[in-house]
Amino acid sequence: MTNFKKICVLGLGYVGLPTAAIFASRGIQVFGVDTNIKTVETINQGKIHIIEPGLDLLVNEAINTGKLSANSKPEKSDAYIIAVPTPFKKTHKPDLTFIESAVRAIAPVLQKGALVILESTSPIGTTGKICQWLAEERKDLTFPDMAGNDSDVQISHSPERVLPGNILEEIVNNDRVIGGISSNCSARTKQLYKI
């Protein structure tokens, strides 16, 4: 599958919401997902809950054109971008709970040909854990840690690299680092971000 008609962005904070709005402005149907119902309601009213120059206009237009909608649960999509928080625990180790919850939330709607991208800042090995978590939930699909380029689902990590106050410009203009579990995963991720 090479076309991306529907994208699901999980986590509608400082990275996820601008990412969702920019893809929507490119004509892609975007489903934004957040566990905070107030955030979901605010976005669906065409408003924003964070401060970022220009984002309010972009979100409002995306909602009004029907290219962006927010919900508390993911929908079937061609690609899933995970942009959830990874706070530190009291032990100074990253808490991957939000990533695992997002991964397990997309598992029921995941279909063959889908691409899963982790944008959250996370330690080495997290994309491998995503394969593991998805394999536990979906024994009917193959993942790149076992099947390589022939996997049913592709998985990559492309960490966000933006600074608040200039996010919209940086999402579009900054170079991206892409780490796919296979070369096919990397190629599909590159294709998505070229949009």
The vertex-35 CA angle with 32 and 41, nearest 5°, equals 65
Q: Would you call 190 helix, strand, or coil by DSSP? A: helix
* Range list of H helices, the chain: 16-25, 37-44, 55-64, 97-106, 126-137, 144-147, 167-173, 183-194
pLDDT of residue 3: 85
In angstroms, the Cα distances linking 84 to 5, 27, 36, 58, 101 are 22, 24, 12, 21, 10
Can you tell me the distance from the alpha carbon of 12 to that of 160, in angstroms, rounded to the nearest whole number? 13
Can you tell me the distance from the alpha carbon of 56 to that of 46, in angstroms, rounded to the nearest whole number? 8
Span 135-148, mean pLDDT? 97
Q: What is the percentage of the chain residues whose pLDDT exceeds 70? A: 99
The residues facing 115 across adjacent strands are 79, 154
Span 24-34, mean pLDDT? 97
What integer best gives the mean pLDDT of the chain? 95
The answer, yes or no, to whether residue 128 has pLDDT greater than 90, is yes
Give the containing element (helix H, strand E) for 121.
none
- Give the global pTM: 0.96
Can you tell me the distance from the alpha carbon of 17 to that of 55, in angstroms, rounded to the nearest whole number? 9
